[in-house]
Structure 1
Amino acid sequence: MESMTIEKHESLNFYNYLCQKIGSEEVVKVRRLALVINDIGQNTNQITSGSKGEGLDLKGSDIDVMTIDCNIEVIESEKDFNIQHQRLSFVINTEETQPCFTQLYLITHHHNLILNFVDPLGLLNLLEMKHLRNVLSNEQYKQWCISHYFSSNLPFKLHGPCISSKDGQYDFAWCLKCETWICQAKPWISRPRTAWPSPELIFSHTQLLCYAMLKILLKELVDRNEDLEGLLCSYYMKTLMFWISEETDPYLWRPDNIIPCFMASLKRLLYCVRYSILSHYFIPENNLFLLRFNTNNKEKIITILTNFYRQGINCFVSSETLQDYKNQCNETTKSSISRNSRLLQQIMPTFDTIRMMFEAGLVLRLLYAFLHSSRTGTSRVLFALQISEAYMVVADKNQYPNSTGNKHRYVSYKSDLNRLVIGLNADAVSGLLKLASFFYVHKNYEASLTMLTMISYTLQKCTDEKIDFSFFDCEKTLNPIQKHVLSLMKRENLGTLMKSSIIHPCTFQKDSSIIPQELQLDVSGKRTFF
């Protein structure tokens, strides 16, 4: 009984340590929701996926983005074809493919329509003939995506099913949507299982942390061996976690049981490698480990994983992310760092990601609709922050470049002013500076005099307790003054913390309608940061 109590205590300490290093349940939810809201606001049908989309922010993780191509639809049967859709329609053919793969045949109805089909994007050039049928070429389609959706100045490469930036920071997957659940995966719906997954299909936080630990084990320990690098990937770890979660009682995935849960996961990985079997979660006929290993690398990876299993969680002493476990774990629960300090420090990289992916053409009405229908305070705050940021970007663009006359100038003036006032909620400083710039550009001298006071007041805000977004480094901790001020604001919500504590750089688009003439020559690129 005493031994069990000690194990639970160690697990709880380790769980709290992981929440500090990887992200608490609250932080993970904020990260996920922030990225979902960002996706909603994009012009394209975008889904941020991978580790970032799952709420993790591990070292070295890239940004995975799925984009649904609305120009093409995929159907399972030609009888589902709807000529009114005005899109190229392809039917799934799996007769000559491995499980989880398919060929896409242009449906026969299009053969008669192909001469009259309006094709400004050149999609018909991506077809190949196979068995007297038009088939969509995988390689040509990805090359077409590169030429149509990416700047020629940015280097991209093909990486498996994705289009990746050569610096490794981004993976883009262009997806063709099938509106129905494909028949190959239908057995997943009815196969016997425990209570997992729940109808909401959400990992518990303990499950997510175990998955993160497997990723760290893989990326920071196994991949150190050059001949093993890339042999296992995050997708395999996720598949493994899905199977274990489905086969075990959800009650076991508790914070005070996280170490036994991780050890069980590692043991299962070792089994899968030893017998070269890891079934695809939705289509089990596809063995992901079939022919994956040769004799040499298989024995080596088995030896390494066996060693890790014997060490238990002590194996992470050699990892970069969790190496300080022994020093910090026992102090985690006694830490004086406030919730707000941790929250901001852990979610800032996610907000940085959002700002990098930000586009001016946000769907503001949709964001407003979600704001008013949000059920939680956190979601309302995040939608409000995104709307404020959106208005800052929209106001920066020249809305009426060719308009003349007093009426158009008045409409433009009022519209930009309203947007900038809403944008004041985005952070502590940049909104005020943009508003000052706006009045200066429009020669509103009375307001400009007020702006002198406003700018002076704004500059006084640039003090040691503010978190300067342009210099924020997630590898470093907040300074003592920042931590102290945030601890005094423990009753404030996330929106107030962001508005009062964060300083964004003041950014202007090229040909911005609110930038002073004296700075226009400095804004030569797409966006310039001051």
Structure 2
Amino acid sequence: MDPISTSPIKAVLKRMSESVFMGLCDKLGTSQLVAMRRDVMDIRDAVLDHVTTSDDDSLMVSGSYREGFRLKGSDRDFMMWSQKHRVIWDLSQSQYYNTHRHTLILCDCSDSPQGYTLLYLLSPSRNQNIQRTCFRENNRLYISSSKYGKTWSSAVFPDPTPHGPCVSVVLSEDTLELDCALCFVSDFWPCPSSWVDRCQSWPQPHVVDDLVTNGCHFVAIGHTLGHYVHNEWRISFSLAEHKLVCAMNHCQFLTYGLLKLFLREIINNGLGDDDDKLLCSYHMKTAVFWVIQQNTLQHWCPQTLLECFWVCFKLILKWVYEGVCPNFFIPQNNMFLSKVHGEAQHQLFIRLYGLSEKGLAFLLHSPSIRSCIINVLHNPHLSICTDEHTLISEAKFDRELFQHVQEIYAYDSLYIPNLEICMRSLHTIEQMKGLPLLTQYQAVMLQKLTAAVLQKAALLLHMETYTHKNKLRYRADKISCHMLKLAAKFGCISDMLYIAMYFYKTLRYMEALTIIEMSKVKLAKPYVIYIGNVDSEMYTKAVGGHSWSTKMRQAVACNILLENKIHYINELLPEQMSSLQDNLSVLCIPQFILLYMLEIFCYRHVDTRRVQTALDDLHTLVYYDQGQIIPLLSRDISWQILGICQQVTGNLQAALYSFQQSLRQKPHHKIHTATEMRIQGTCH
């Protein structure tokens, strides 16, 4: 029985829908927050596209993170492909390429299931990894998907784990896991395509044109029931799917989010092995796409959210009953064919049908939205405001924005190996700042990227000119100092500490201490945002209503990121080398930890009487902080730095204890090799 159309209490269902809508806004994000997340990701990728040369591999964030979700425990998905290789669908498309620059690959779908293809190498590739993964058939050279995945992933990633068409890489224990799909790209949409003809009502024509113009990808996995399971490639519409999700209104997006929660918290709850999970998030997304395009529902709004969810759920139930889940772009591709069949299909249908008989009451089993439903059941006449702006204060929104900007830079920082690319990056950012369609969120991201590139350029310049003659070194030093000071004007408060590090490295201890004191004063302000902590009232009073550019300069502090391939200060070189050996590119140090460390090092050279006071401050912070200043994942590097400071001041017993404590923390920064080395030095 359909609980939506036959229930005599439609008014209660309407209020329940509104309550769930607001609960999902709080958990998954308001339309403004979701737009911000996407805009910040888009501008970062736009800069990266301009900076990347034809010799570099392209890297694109994909999956739910790119779509705007921030669900805890979700993997970060990437797609990586070679810029020098292009896939074409027929030989006539080869006219658009310079074969001296691009190696062309032709699709051969003649003997593959719908949605899959063999890739035929039209000319020898100069890439040795690709050459080693080819096999010959019918006097043609094809690229094997399984061999390519193994060869490429082992060459690019440390300890890769196969995960469908992706390889999984854990950056650090109990933290972020990356899923990277190694693929090829085509600038052309599969043709002929019935999908374009099907788009009469949704998406809009300009979205369809955009999707078709941007082509598709091919990921390294074959159909399990095909003739060439180890050699076929699956056609991927990941970029198109991202654009379709962005074309949804917020109720449609939250319906998709509710289906993801339903999948995680009810259907797959307690199923640990991926082989036991017959349904995945991709099936949920496909259902929403079909329901929107087929105009099954006239209105997608807060008052009808549960009705929208129910229609999507019933479509999934129908698919499971029939054993057919049609791909949205290639309907002939049945995505249930290899997994949802036989006894497994029968058991899944029984379970889903049992849920359908309970009606929407089964959503009470979802911890994320249970309270939203119970509140209305306890008070059927409850009045619910569906204005999203009432959910989030200015301070709360700004906190997420700045955290997101910092997180993107921490994990997805621009690849800038030399000064030439630094200059190219700055030129690209400068051009983008003048774009008429630039959003305010993207402007903040560009501002942070400007500061980051200037800091990197300053340090790279110093490293390259350190052994040069005095006159050239003097000029380079002046330029480096200017760039670091300029970066502090573009960036946040804690960016001043990069100047202090540089002054300490170049033996200007008093100048470094002056910067440290200025930083202390600014960081002590009660309205400063740091790792999610902020006094909302004080923040609003101090900078409320100001531009985000002003807020970032005056009221935001971030962790200090030290790229392990750049030499900052001698005292942290062992930690950087240890982390780099374990394929971690960045050390992320809490601002006050770095501040006290620099203060101790500087006072050792200019005023030894004040060293102990600074050491006591660092000791107190590391011992007694409850996550307000030192994030859990930074405990290892924080204990390590305390030990280093104790070691250089002669307190070897305390240093030994600190190093041992560093080893007991979650090894987020992969510095255990450096810690063990320092323990040996302390003991001897």
State the TM-score, normalized to the length of structure 2: 0.67
Report SS of the residue matched to 2:132.
Answer: helix
Conserved? CA contact 1:104–1:135, under 8 Å: yes
Question: What is the rounded CA distance, in whole Å, between the counterparts of 2:515 and 2:375 in structure 1?
Answer: 44
Question: What is the rounded CA distance, in whole Å, between the counterparts of 1:89 and 1:263 in structure 2?
Answer: 46
Cα root mean square deviation, aligned = 3.2
Greater shift after overlay, 85-94 or 164-173? Answer: 164-173
| 1:381 partnered with 2:444 | yes
Letter of the structure 1 residue corresponding to residue 182 of structure 2: W
Report SS of the residue matched to 1:344.
Answer: helix
Corresponding pairs, count? 505
Question: What is the rounded CA distance, in whole Å, between the counterparts of 1:277 and 1:355 in structure 2?
Answer: 42
Greater shift after overlay, 246-255 or 202-211? Answer: 246-255
User: Cα distance, 1:100 vs. partner?
Assistant: 0.5
User: Cα distance, 1:133 vs. partner?
Assistant: 1.0
Counterpart of 2:620 in structure 1 is none
Question: What is the rounded CA distance, in whole Å, between the counterparts of 2:71 and 2:549 in structure 1?
Answer: 25
Q: 1:99 to 1:461 in 2, by over 3 A?
A: same
Question: What is the rounded CA distance, in whole Å, between the counterparts of 1:399 and 1:331 in structure 2?
Answer: 63
Equivalent in 465, 479, 487 of residue 415 of structure 1: 479
Question: What is the rounded CA distance, in whole Å, between the counterparts of 1:229 and 1:286 in structure 2?
Answer: 22
Report SS of the residue matched to 1:468.
Answer: coil
Letter of the structure 2 residue corresponding to residue 421 of structure 1: K
Conserved? CA contact 2:402–2:556, under 8 Å: no
Matches within 5 A, 1:333-344: 333=385, 338-344=393-399
Q: 1:234 to 1:374 in 2, by over 3 A?
A: farther
| 1:89 partnered with 2:104 | yes
Equivalent in 493, 502, 511 of residue 556 of structure 2: 502
Letter of the structure 2 residue corresponding to residue 370 of structure 1: M
Q: 1:340 to 1:127 in 2, by over 3 A?
A: same
Letter of the structure 2 residue corresponding to residue 390 of structure 1: V
Question: What is the rounded CA distance, in whole Å, between the counterparts of 2:101 and 2:405 in structure 1?
Answer: 38
User: Cα distance, 1:287 vs. partner?
Assistant: 1.3
Conserved? CA contact 1:37–1:386, under 8 Å: no
User: Cα distance, 1:145 vs. partner?
Assistant: 1.7
Question: What is the rounded CA distance, in whole Å, between the counterparts of 1:379 and 1:248 in structure 2?
Answer: 34
Counterpart of 1:77 in structure 2 is 90
User: Cα distance, 1:183 vs. partner?
Assistant: 1.2
| 1:364 partnered with 2:465 | no
Question: What is the rounded CA distance, in whole Å, between the counterparts of 1:165 and 1:509 in structure 2?
Answer: 19
Counterpart of 1:161 in structure 2 is 165
Conserved? CA contact 1:69–1:174, under 8 Å: no
Question: What is the rounded CA distance, in whole Å, between the counterparts of 1:39 and 1:253 in structure 2?
Answer: 31
Equivalent in 502, 510, 529 of residue 438 of structure 1: 502
Conserved? CA contact 2:15–2:384, under 8 Å: no
Letter of the structure 2 residue corresponding to residue 188 of structure 1: W
Conserved? CA contact 2:40–2:441, under 8 Å: no
- Structure 1 residues 385-425: Cα deviation after superposition (integer angstroms, max 9, x where no partner): 22223333443445653651234324432432333233225
Counterpart of 1:216 in structure 2 is 261
Greater shift after overlay, 208-217 or 502-511? Answer: 502-511
Conserved? CA contact 1:34–1:351, under 8 Å: no
Conserved? CA contact 1:374–1:380, under 8 Å: no
Q: 1:174 to 1:26 in 2, by over 3 A?
A: same
| 1:392 partnered with 2:455 | yes
Unaligned runs of 5+ in 2: 1-6, 208-243, 377-381, 417-421, 581-585, 595-684
User: Cα distance, 1:439 vs. partner?
Assistant: 2.9
Question: What is the rounded CA distance, in whole Å, between the counterparts of 1:255 and 1:422 in structure 2?
Answer: 46
User: Cα distance, 1:313 vs. partner?
Assistant: 5.0
Counterpart of 1:297 in structure 2 is 344
Question: What is the rounded CA distance, in whole Å, between the counterparts of 2:487 and 2:254 in structure 1?
Answer: 36
Q: 1:221 to 1:505 in 2, by over 3 A?
A: same
Report SS of the residue matched to 1:86.
Answer: coil
Report SS of the residue matched to 1:45.
Answer: strand
User: Cα distance, 1:331 vs. partner?
Assistant: 9.7
User: Cα distance, 1:504 vs. partner?
Assistant: 1.9
User: Cα distance, 1:455 vs. partner?
Assistant: 1.6
Question: What is the rounded CA distance, in whole Å, between the counterparts of 2:320 and 2:537 in structure 1?
Answer: 49
Conserved? CA contact 2:75–2:179, under 8 Å: yes
- Structure 1 residues 310-337: Cα deviation after superposition (integer angstroms, max 9, x where no partner): 5555434333433443477879859786
User: Cα distance, 1:360 vs. partner?
Assistant: 4.6
Counterpart of 2:624 in structure 1 is none
Equivalent in 33, 44, 59 of residue 46 of structure 1: 59
- Structure 1 residues 213-262: Cα deviation after superposition (integer angstroms, max 9, x where no partner): 11111122111253874211111111111111101178511222212111
Greater shift after overlay, 368-377 or 327-336? Answer: 327-336
Counterpart of 1:284 in structure 2 is 331
Q: 1:182 to 1:88 in 2, by over 3 A?
A: same
User: Cα distance, 1:125 vs. partner?
Assistant: 1.9
Question: What is the rounded CA distance, in whole Å, between the counterparts of 1:20 and 1:233 in structure 2?
Answer: 24
Q: 1:351 to 1:293 in 2, by over 3 A?
A: same
Conserved? CA contact 1:197–1:246, under 8 Å: no
Question: What is the rounded CA distance, in whole Å, between the counterparts of 1:331 and 1:216 in structure 2?
Answer: 25
Q: 1:374 to 1:392 in 2, by over 3 A?
A: farther
Conserved? CA contact 2:77–2:179, under 8 Å: yes
Report SS of the residue matched to 2:434.
Answer: helix
Unaligned runs of 5+ in 1: 473-477
| 1:141 partnered with 2:202 | no
Q: 1:238 to 1:483 in 2, by over 3 A?
A: same
Q: 1:336 to 1:357 in 2, by over 3 A?
A: closer
Greater shift after overlay, 92-101 or 488-497? Answer: 488-497
Counterpart of 1:485 in structure 2 is 538
Counterpart of 1:102 in structure 2 is 117
Counterpart of 1:171 in structure 2 is 179
Question: What is the rounded CA distance, in whole Å, between the counterparts of 2:454 and 2:303 in structure 1?
Answer: 45
User: Cα distance, 1:347 vs. partner?
Assistant: 7.0
Select the structure that is richer in helix. 2
| 1:457 partnered with 2:518 | yes
Question: What is the rounded CA distance, in whole Å, between the counterparts of 2:259 and 2:302 in structure 1?
Answer: 17
Matches within 5 A, 1:464-483: 465-469=527-531, 478=533, 482-483=535-536
User: Cα distance, 1:124 vs. partner?
Assistant: 1.8
| 1:180 partnered with 2:188 | yes
